[in-house]
Structure 1
Amino acid sequence: MSQTTYDILIIGSGPGGYVAAIRAAQLGLKVGVVERQYMGGICPNWGCIPAKALLRSAEIFHYIEHAKDYGLVAEKVGVDIAGVVKRSRGIAAQMSGGVGFLLKKNKVDVIWGPATITAPGKVSVAAPVEPGPKGTLPPGDYAAKNIIIATGARPRVLPGIEPDKKLIWTYFEALAPASVPKSLLIMGSGAIGVEFASFYKAMGSDVTIVELLPQILPVEDEEIADLARKRFEKQGIRILTGAKVSKVAKGTDNVTATVETADGNSQTITADRLIAAVGVVGNIENLGLEKIGVKTDRGCVAIDGLCRTNVPGIYAIGDVAGPPMLAHKAEHEGVICVEAIAGKHAHPMNKLEIPGCTYCMPQVASVGLTEKKAKEAGYEIKVGRFPFIGNGKAVALGEPDGLVKTVFDAKTGQLLGAHLIGAEVTELIQGFVIAMNLETTEEELINTIFPHPTVSETMHESVLAAYGRAIHM
Structure 2
Amino acid sequence: MAENYDVIVLGSGPGGYVAAIRCAQLGLKTAIVERELLGGICLNWGCIPTKALLRSAEIFHYMQHAKDYGLVAKGIEADLVAVVKRSRGVAKQLNQGVTHLMKKNKITVHMGTGTLTGPTSLTVKGDKGDEKLSAKHIIVATGARARDLPFAPADGKRVWTYRHAMTPAEMPNKLLVIGSGAIGIEFASFYNDMGSEVTVVEMLDRIVPVEDKDVSAFLEKSLTKQGIAIKTGAGVEELKVSDKGVSARIKLKDGKIENGEFSHVIVAVGIVPNTESIGVEKLADMDRGFIQIDPYGRTKSKGLWAIGDCTPGPWLAHKASHEGVTCAEAIAQELGNKDVHPHPLDRNAIPGCTYCHPQIASVGLTEAKAKEAGYEVKVGTFPFIGNGKAIALGEAEGFTKTVFDAKTGELLGAHMVGAEVTEMIQGYTIGKVLETTEAELMQTVFPHPTISESMHESVLAAYGRALHI
TM-score, structure 2 normalization? 0.98
Q: Which of 327, 337, 361 is matched with 1:365 structurally?
A: 361
- In the alignment, is residue 310 of structure 1 matched against residue 309 of structure 2? no
- In the alignment, is residue 188 of structure 1 matched against residue 140 of structure 2? no
Amino acid at match of 1:115: G
Q: Distance in 2 between matches of 1:253 and 1:13?
A: 38
SS at match of 1:15: coil
Q: Which of 118, 128, 133 is matched with 1:142 structurally?
A: 133
Amino acid at match of 1:151: T
Q: Which one is further off, 339-348 or 89-98?
A: 339-348
Amino acid at match of 2:181: G
Q: Distance in 2 between matches of 1:83 and 1:47?
A: 18
Q: Which of 443, 446, 450 is matched with 1:450 structurally?
A: 446
Q: Distance in 2 between matches of 1:366 and 1:119?
A: 40
Amino acid at match of 1:203: M
**Is this contact kept in 2: 1:112–1:138, CA < 8 A?**
no
- In the alignment, is residue 267 of structure 1 matched against residue 263 of structure 2? no
1:163-242 equivalent positions in 2, closer than 5 A: 163-242=154-233
SS at match of 1:289: coil
Q: Distance in 2 between matches of 1:101 and 1:75?
A: 43
Shift of residue 389, structure 1, vs aligned partner: 0.3
1:336-347 equivalent positions in 2, closer than 5 A: 336-343=326-333, 344-347=340-343
Q: Distance in 2 between matches of 1:14 and 1:417?
A: 28
Tell me what 1:471 maps to. 467
**Is this contact kept in 2: 1:356–1:367, CA < 8 A?**
yes
**Is this contact kept in 2: 1:112–1:139, CA < 8 A?**
no
Q: Which of 385, 391, 394 is matched with 1:389 structurally?
A: 385
1:25-424 equivalent positions in 2, closer than 5 A: 25-128=24-127, 139-290=130-281, 292-343=282-333, 344-424=340-420
Q: Distance in 2 between matches of 1:121 and 1:349?
A: 24
**Is this contact kept in 2: 1:13–1:35, CA < 8 A?**
yes
Q: Distance in 1 between matches of 2:16 and 2:300?
A: 20
Amino acid at match of 2:13: G
TM-superposition CA deviations, 1:283-309 (whole Å, max 9, x none) = 00211113x432111221111111111
Shift of residue 262, structure 1, vs aligned partner: 3.5
**Is this contact kept in 1: 2:143–2:308, CA < 8 A?**
yes
Q: Give RMSD over aligned pairs.
A: 0.9
Shift of residue 261, structure 1, vs aligned partner: 2.2
Shift of residue 120, structure 1, vs aligned partner: 2.2
**Is this contact kept in 1: 2:276–2:289, CA < 8 A?**
no
Aligned residues: 463
Unmatched runs of 5 consecutive residues or more in structure 2: 334-339
TM-superposition CA deviations, 1:172-214 (whole Å, max 9, x none) = 1100112211100000000000000000001100000000100
**Is this contact kept in 2: 1:387–1:402, CA < 8 A?**
yes
Amino acid at match of 1:455: I
Amino acid at match of 2:318: H
Tell me what 1:19 maps to. 18
SS at match of 2:448: coil
**Is this contact kept in 2: 1:371–1:407, CA < 8 A?**
yes
**Is this contact kept in 1: 2:119–2:283, CA < 8 A?**
no
Q: Distance in 2 between matches of 1:383 and 1:6?
A: 52
Shift of residue 256, structure 1, vs aligned partner: 0.5
Q: Distance in 1 between matches of 2:349 and 2:126?
A: 40
**Is this contact kept in 2: 1:386–1:404, CA < 8 A?**
yes
Shift of residue 139, structure 1, vs aligned partner: 4.7
Q: Distance in 2 between matches of 1:246 and 1:296?
A: 30
Q: Distance in 2 between matches of 1:336 and 1:293?
A: 21
Tell me what 1:131 maps to. none
Q: Distance in 1 between matches of 2:129 and 2:317?
A: 28
Shift of residue 264, structure 1, vs aligned partner: 2.1
TM-superposition CA deviations, 1:91-124 (whole Å, max 9, x none) = 0100111111111100000000000111121110
Q: Distance in 2 between matches of 1:184 and 1:96?
A: 30
SS at match of 2:15: helix
Structure 1 segments of 4+ aligned residues over 6 angstroms from their partners: none
Q: Distance in 2 between matches of 1:437 and 1:113?
A: 39
SS at match of 2:248: strand
SS at match of 1:426: helix
**Is this contact kept in 1: 2:118–2:283, CA < 8 A?**
no
SS at match of 1:470: coil
Amino acid at match of 2:203: L
Give the % identical residues: 59
Q: Distance in 1 between matches of 2:109 and 2:92?
A: 18
Tell me what 2:431 maps to. 435
